[in-house]
Structures are given as structure tokens and as C-alpha cells.
Amino acid sequence: MKYDDVSAQVVLRLKYGGKIGLARVIARQMVRHLPDDHADLIITPVPLHWTRMWSRTFNQSAFIGQELAALSGIPFVPDILVRHKRTPIMRGLDVRRRKKAVGGAFAVNPKWRGRVKGFRIILIDDVFTTGATSDGCVSVLKRNGASWVQIFCWARALRGTNHRPTSILRDA
């Protein structure tokens, strides 16, 4: 889905408005895009740094992943990746600054090192903007043996647009 006023309202109400029931709405839209063969599939979210998790109290991508797993029967493993580097809020950053900000931010959780080899991973993110975050996660997963990684997101910012939602959190 294109990142526009409607898709932004949904994700921002989930992310900042605490409307966690929207995770199920998002997952219902994603489930139809899953591969038919669920063998060796794992669903995992893009992780938040512990400081962001502490301030927000939840990871919206993890809620979406949990709902997608419940709808599909695919295992949900919330802690394969860790974000060990605190990164700035990405809103408003260009591609170069986003890549620099997330460079080296992600790692495979020590308890999962050597255990993702051969698995196919569905990586959940709420919004795909420049790809910097997902690129960082994918490269770490592939280096640790994942056979492939597919990114599932609610909305994608289209190249050449600088969309900023006009009514962020109105009625949230």
C-alpha cells in the first residue's frame, strides 16, 4: 500500500496512539501475500532499541508479526534481531542520513546465532521508506545463514514523493 494520508493514519494510530487492535487489521491485509509453502518460515519484527521500547512500551512491528503468525500458523520469533545502537527518529531524514543512522545498528541476538541458518524469514516493518532499516536487518540475517528474507510492511513511501501526512493523529 502507498504511504498516504489513509495508510499513515492507520500506522500512526497504532504506533503513537496505542490503538494496538490495528495490528490485526494490518496483518489481515498482509496474510494473503504469504508464500503457500510455510516450511522453514519464521516471522520476526524489525526490533526497537531498548530506550525506544521503554518510552513507547511496545513494538508495533512485533504486534503486527504476532497477528500475522496467529492468522497463518507460521512461528513468530520476536527476538531474532536486536537493535544494539540507538538511532534517531527517521522521519525527515534523507536516504544517506538514514543509512548512516542505522549502520551497524542491528545484530542477531546471541541466543539465535547459528540457529537461523536455512530458515526463510518474513521481516515485519510498519512503513518502508528508503529501505535503510530493512537493508540493515536483511544483511545481518543473511550473514547469519537465513536462506532468504522477505520484507512485509503496511505501507511504502514511493520514490520521488515527500509525503507528510496532513492530519497526524487527528482523532487518535
Q: What is the chain's Cα-based Rg? A: 15
The per-residue pLDDT of the chain, averaged, comes to 86
Instruction: Tell me the per-residue pLDDT of 35-61, one tens digit each, with 9 for 90 and over.
Output: 999 999 999 999 999 888 888 788 999
What CATH number should be reported for the domain whose range is 5-156? Answer: 3.40.50.2020
Q: Break the chain into its structural domains and give their ranges.
A: 5-156
Over residues 1-26, the mean pLDDT reads 81
Whose grid coordinates read 504469504? 34
Higher pLDDT, 138 or 12: 138
pTM of the model: 0.84
- pLDDT value of residue 172: 38
In sequence order, the β-bridge partners of residue 150 are 122
DSSP string for 31-75: GGGS-S--TTEEEEEPPPPHHHHHHHSS-HHHHHHHHHHHHH---
